[in-house]
Amino acid sequence: MTTQLNESLVKGGEFLIKETASKDVFIPEEWSEEQIMIAQSCNDFIDTEIFPNLDKIDSMKHPDLIPSLLEKTGQLGLLGSAIPEKYGGFGMDFNTTMLIAESFGKSHSFVVAFLAHSGIGTLPILFYGTEDQKEKYLPGLASGERKAAYCLTEPDAGSDANAGKTRAMLSDDRKFFVINGQKMWITNAGYANLFIVFAKIENDKYLSAFIVEKSFGGITMNEEEKKLGIKGCSTRQVFFNDCKVPIENLLGKREEGFKMALNILNIGRIDLGAATMGGAKLALKNSIRYANERKQFGVTIGNFGAIKHKLAEMATQIYATEAALFRTGHNIEKVSKLYMEDGLDTESAKLKAIEEFAIECAILKVHGSEVLDFAVDEAVQIHGGLGYSAEGPVERGYRDARINRIFEGTNEINRLVTIDMLLKRAMKGSLDLMTPTMEVQKELTSIPEFGDNGGNHLLAKEKKVLLNLKKTGLMIAGAAVQKLMMKLKDEQEILMNLADMLIEGYVAESVILRAEKLANLKGIDACQRQIDMAKIYLHAAIHKITIAAKEAIYAFSEGDEQRMLLLGLKRFTKIDPFNLKEARRKIADELLERNDCCF
């Protein structure tokens, strides 16, 4: 890597130790006309092809329906958004592909089939395939002629993917791999004609990956799984019985499959984060409209403070998560371009950039799925009895949302992964956590600077609070590492406390930067509600971080050390009072007036 590239590179996880200028982030208010048109084409497709057929899709009595819908999205160019034009795609930038994922996020079961095909089912070939493999398979995947499934999970290998027992043995003539094994929870399995299959070759330690066509034979399946939600997407167990795969269909290098799975899951995680925002916005939209229609005690329920609180909180959490999502997508795109300028080919550059932001991808998967769960739960509550009825508009979304905290690695695994990756990068020297941690420890024994509010410019006080929240994370993580050392990896509760602090800090910073940049572009008066949402979110983040920090402090410290950490926590989590109730009411009033999720 050249020195110039190294200096320009935005590093994953670096947000914890480095301030970001609002001018350097992308905000959704900056979508181009072309990107808005792409999102609109997705919305039009959903309105005309998906929503009228939701009951048919979920019934599973029309097995050709989702495959035909995938083909239609292929005809619109939406399946091949990430595929280069020379392979039949459109080669769109990373944020545009995530905008498509967000748009389809409200399509219930269909979005699961869509992302399983266009994401984890297609991208392994794009990023790891040979030129011959790309030319052979990518055009059909972009058009929808081929339907893809991703076969990683096994009965005894879920989060521990490398524990899989599926084996690939070289044939005597060394022209084929013969695969035997079982995969489960395979999305799109019922109609897929192309499978990305992970198996260990003979007695290898690590997985390898294979492109397996259904026409190769030796593939059987169980019946469709009966599920809590996403009932309309095909989910089956897949069995490989002496499935003969040509040797040229080895995907990537031998034993590269485990690394490949992890890298592709990074993309799956951030795409899932994008899709959850589409689902959350639908829940909010339905709730706003119901609050404007439903009358109790002679007035519409949108007039009640309790309903206003719910609507404003839903809007705030969605707005904040969206800020973090597209901030990250922009960073991935920016860094991939730097790698390309440094000489890497397009696919290698994008893969390396995505790997760089694996921490943020995990954060967005966790946070997005939990914001969606919050939104659909509040939607049911706002709708009351109708919310619990299958005849109403929100019951399906409530059930469909639950899988997202399990998909692409459970939220517990992803929380552990964020801290594990952060600490490993610090140990390797790619992130200098030690210097700022030592500075925070020195600050704990110094006299506080009274009256230092960060300046008088827009959101200056809030940005000072953000800086202190980062110090909180460094203080507690540093103390935990110093006290527990190698034992910390076994203290999952503490690691998840640290992860929650990291997640909330990143999202809070993202929404503050979004509001600041928007105000700089449009003026403060035009963005007052967005500024209110940023402040509301920051107050909530401080509350969550304080709880997580106290739990961690109580878990590993005692005596003078504990008192010092608690004093530091109190010092670093101060924030000026802000009338949250009035801010929420103003946000809700605008939502209700526009009868839509308008931010």
User: Which residues 6+ apart lie within 8 Å of 296 measured at CB?
Assistant: none
Separation of alpha carbons 519 and 513, rounded Å: 10
pTM of the full structure: 0.96
Q: Percent helix, strand, coil in the chain (nearest 5)?
A: 65, 10, 25
How buried is 303 (Cβ within 10 angstroms: 0-12 exposed, 13-18 middle, 19+ buried)?
Answer: middle
Contact 166, 179 (CB under 8 A): yes
CA distances from 570 to 61, 546, 573 (A): 58, 8, 6
| DSSP per residue, 293-356 | H-EETTEEGGGSHHHHHHHHHHHHHHHHHHHHHHHHHHHHHHHHHHHHHTT--HHHHHHHHHHH
CA distances from 33 to 39, 243, 347 (A): 10, 48, 27
Please, what are the domains in the chain?
Answer: 29-147 (1.10.540.10), 150-251 (2.40.110.10), 257-413 (1.20.140.10), 433-594 (1.20.140.10)
- Phi, psi (deg, nearest 5) at residue 60: 60, 20
- Does residue 194 sit in helix, strand or coil? strand
- Does residue 236 sit in helix, strand or coil? strand
Which of these is catalytic: 356, 360, 408, 504? 408
Report helix angle 460-484 to 559-572, nearest 10.
160
Which amino acid is residue 447, in one-letter code? Answer: I
- To the query of whether residue 71 is one of the catalytic residues in this protein, the response is no
Nearest alpha-carbon partner for 308 in 324, 292, 296: 292
Nearest alpha-carbon partner for 335 in 2, 3, 573, 6: 6
Contact 533, 512 (CB under 8 A): no
Token pair listed for 552? 């961690």
pLDDT in tens, the chain (599 residues): 565 556 667 899 999 999 999 999 999 999 999 999 999 999 999 999 999 999 999 999 999 999 999 999 999 999 999 999 999 999 999 999 999 999 999 999 999 999 999 999 999 999 999 999 999 999 999 999 999 999 999 999 888 888 999 999 999 999 999 999 999 999 999 999 999 999 999 999 999 999 999 999 999 999 999 999 999 999 999 999 999 999 999 999 999 999 999 999 999 999 999 999 999 999 999 999 999 999 999 999 999 999 999 999 999 999 999 999 999 999 999 999 999 999 999 999 999 999 999 999 999 999 999 999 999 999 999 999 999 999 999 999 999 999 999 999 999 999 999 999 999 999 999 999 999 999 999 998 887 766 666 666 889 999 999 999 999 999 999 999 999 999 999 999 999 999 999 999 999 999 999 999 999 999 999 999 999 999 999 999 999 999 999 999 999 999 999 999 999 999 999 999 999 999 999 999 999 999 999 99
CA distances from 306 to 310, 541, 585 (A): 7, 21, 10
Nearest alpha-carbon partner for 508 in 432, 575, 449, 456: 575
Contact 102, 94 (CB under 8 A): no
Separation of alpha carbons 85 and 172, rounded Å: 40
In sequence order, the β-bridge partners of residue 154 are: 157
- Phi, psi (deg, nearest 5) at residue 560: -60, -40
Separation of alpha carbons 591 and 382, rounded Å: 15
User: Which residues 6+ apart lie within 8 Å of 551 measured at CB?
Assistant: 493, 497
Contact 527, 513 (CB under 8 A): no
Report helix angle 305-341 to 94-104, nearest 10.
150
Looking only at the bridges linking them, the beta strands covering 194-201 and 167-170 are parallel
Contact 318, 277 (CB under 8 A): yes
User: Which residues 6+ apart lie within 8 Å of 242 measured at CB?
Assistant: 178, 179, 180, 218
